[in-house]
Amino acid sequence: MQSIDSKILSRIYGSGKGAVFTSGRFLDIGSRDAVDKALSRLVQKGTIRRLARGLYDYPEHHPVMGILAPSPDAIAWALAGKQGIRLQPSGAYAANRLGLSTQVPARIVYLTDGPSRTVRVGNQEIRLQRTTPRNMGPAGRISGLVIQALRHLGQKHVGDAVIQTLQRKLSDQDKKRLIKDIAYAPAWVGKHLWEIARGKA
């Protein structure tokens, strides 16, 4: 009969290097107390890493850079937990993902239709912020990312350079998606979505 440690470890290995998870992911294997103790033992052995209270990862090792930090997306999905919850990168992080900003912000915000949560991992804060159904309409699609990035930049700061960058970056399929989801955008953002999609800048 497998021990609780080996059952948890088998599931972690199945997720692959770089996986991030909470203790709640293993509650079908044992009680919370038993799971927490098993995870603590795996941390002590160096198999997994504790990122924050109740949050762990199976760290990825790079031959030159050493142990890599987990991706913000992996942390956010681990925090979201339940299946069916949607996430949408927002603010400065959305702009960074689209190449409109070179800086990865210290505070990364994801809009969600699940509960709000915040965790600090190293020098970075990951926040899940509950928002309206309208804001979550294009979640998980390129249009959602573009809408949030433009909203972050602000109406006065979305000029030709921003539009041209997005025109180069997005595929024809992406541009068609912008038009389909234009109803989810504020009017001024919608105008720019047309410009991006129609090649006008």
Q: Give the integer Cα–Cα distance in Å for 49 and 42.
A: 8
Which of 46, 67, 88 is a domain's end point?
Answer: 67
| Residue 92 and residue 186 in one domain | yes
| Residue 103 and residue 190 in one domain | yes
Q: Looking at residue 47, which CATH number applies to its domain? A: 1.10.10
pLDDT band with cut points at 50, 70 and 90 for residue 200: low
Average pLDDT score over residue span 40-59: 94
Are 25 and 74 spatial neighbours (Cβ–Cβ below 8 Å)?
Answer: no
| Residue 122 and residue 54 in one domain | no
Total structural domains within the chain: 2
| Residue 111 and residue 171 in one domain | yes
pLDDT, residue 84, reads 77
Distance between terminal CA atoms of the chain?
Answer: 65
Are 199 and 170 spatial neighbours (Cβ–Cβ below 8 Å)?
Answer: no
Predicted TM-score (pTM) of the model is 0.87
pLDDT, residue 10, reads 94
| Residue 166 and residue 114 in one domain | yes
Helices (H), 46-171: 72-80, 91-97, 133-136, 142-153, 160-169
Which of 47, 67, 87 is a domain's end point?
Answer: 67
Question: Residues 55-110: pLDDT tens digits?
Answer: 999 999 888 888 888 999 999 999 988 767 899 999 999 999 999 988 889 999 99
135-141, Cβ contacts within 8 angstroms, sequence gap of 24 or more: 135/88, 135/111, 135/184, 136/86, 136/88, 136/111, 136/112, 137/181, 137/183, 137/184, 138/88, 138/181, 138/184, 139/86, 139/87, 139/88, 139/111, 139/113, 140/86, 140/87, 140/88, 141/177, 141/181
- Asked whether residue 148 carries a pLDDT value surpassing 80, the answer given is yes
127, 129, 98, 96: which is closest to 111 by C-alpha? 129
Domain carrying residue 35: 4-67
Which of 38, 67, 96 is a domain's end point?
Answer: 67
| Residue 35 and residue 85 in one domain | no
